[in-house]
Amino acid sequence: MGRLDEQVAIVTGGARGIGAAVARLFAMEGAAVMVADVLDTEGAQLAAELGGPARYAHLDVSAEHGWQPVLAEAERELGPVSVLVNNAGILDWGTIEEQSLESFRRVIDVNLQGAWLGMRTAAPYLRRAGGGVIVNISSLAGLTGYAGIGAYVASKWALRGLTKTAALELAPDGTRVCSVHPGAVRTPMTADFDDSFTAAQPLPRFGEPEEVARMVLFIAADATYSTGTEFILDGGVTAGPPTALTPDH
């Protein structure tokens, strides 16, 4: 028996990285998974690999009219939709002084507007399913600031707040909404980061996509008394500064 038997899950940005790890684990636990992404070749390949009832749909999460057909196809082909993982995200660099408006807007459009559109479109489907779970992949950058990625930080803080509003609004439907806050995770998004990035952390290494997937599974399958809450996996970064206090300080 799987922990997600008879569940139908949509995973955005599911073609690679954290999303692909979530799609794989969900499928192993019995869910029918709709992988939604803009990377059509990788996404279709993954859906074929998952075995069992799984599909791939092209979806630019920032596009308002892309969502409804994906939800409708999932419901028609896989059954009542009960889980949405808003995982699709992009990172673009630039200090506040340097970043172009176009770049700022694109990050917000994908990371924030995309998740908002997803929740707005999925809510009635989850209601019809008798309630469900929405997991929004925010970031450690939704809990702290980072110099050089202001748009990303703004999008992830906003997604954390939006998660709480959604939790309040959808609780009467029996739908839970939580946010996940990973620190540095080894995926194509962080391919250019070297090991020095995590060296000062209490757990001095990158996280693996599968570690995030296990937390997402826990929220979807087991965390039945949690809604509007933040699930952090950050190698200990938010525990405190790396410097120890000594009597000399």
Could you tell me the smallest distance in angstroms from the CB atom of residue 177 to ligand NAD? 16
Shortest separation between residue 244's beta carbon and ligand NAD, angstroms: 26
132/182 with CB nearer ligand NAD: 182
Q: Which of 56, 146, 152, 225 is catalytic?
A: 152
Comparison of 99 and 171: residue with beta carbon closer to ligand NAD: 99
Residue closer to ligand NAD by CB (options 6, 200) is: 200
Beta strands at 133-137 and 176-182: parallel, antiparallel or unpaired: parallel
User: Residue 236: exposed, middle, or buried by beta-carbon count in 10 A (0-12, 13-18, 19+)?
Assistant: middle
Which residues of this protein are in contact with ligand NAD, per CB under 6 A?
A: 12-13, 15-19, 37-39, 59-62, 87-90, 110, 114, 137, 139, 182, 184-185, 187-190
Sign of CA dihedral 68, 69, 72, 78: negative
Q: For residue 231, what are the β-bridge partners?
A: 180
CB of 248 to ligand NAD, least distance (A): 35
**18 in Cβ contact with 89 (< 8 Å):** no
Is residue 125 annotated as part of the catalytic site, yes or no? no
Q: Are 51 and 27 in contact (CB under 8 A)?
A: yes
Sign of CA dihedral 140, 142, 145, 151: positive
Residues recognised as catalytic: 152
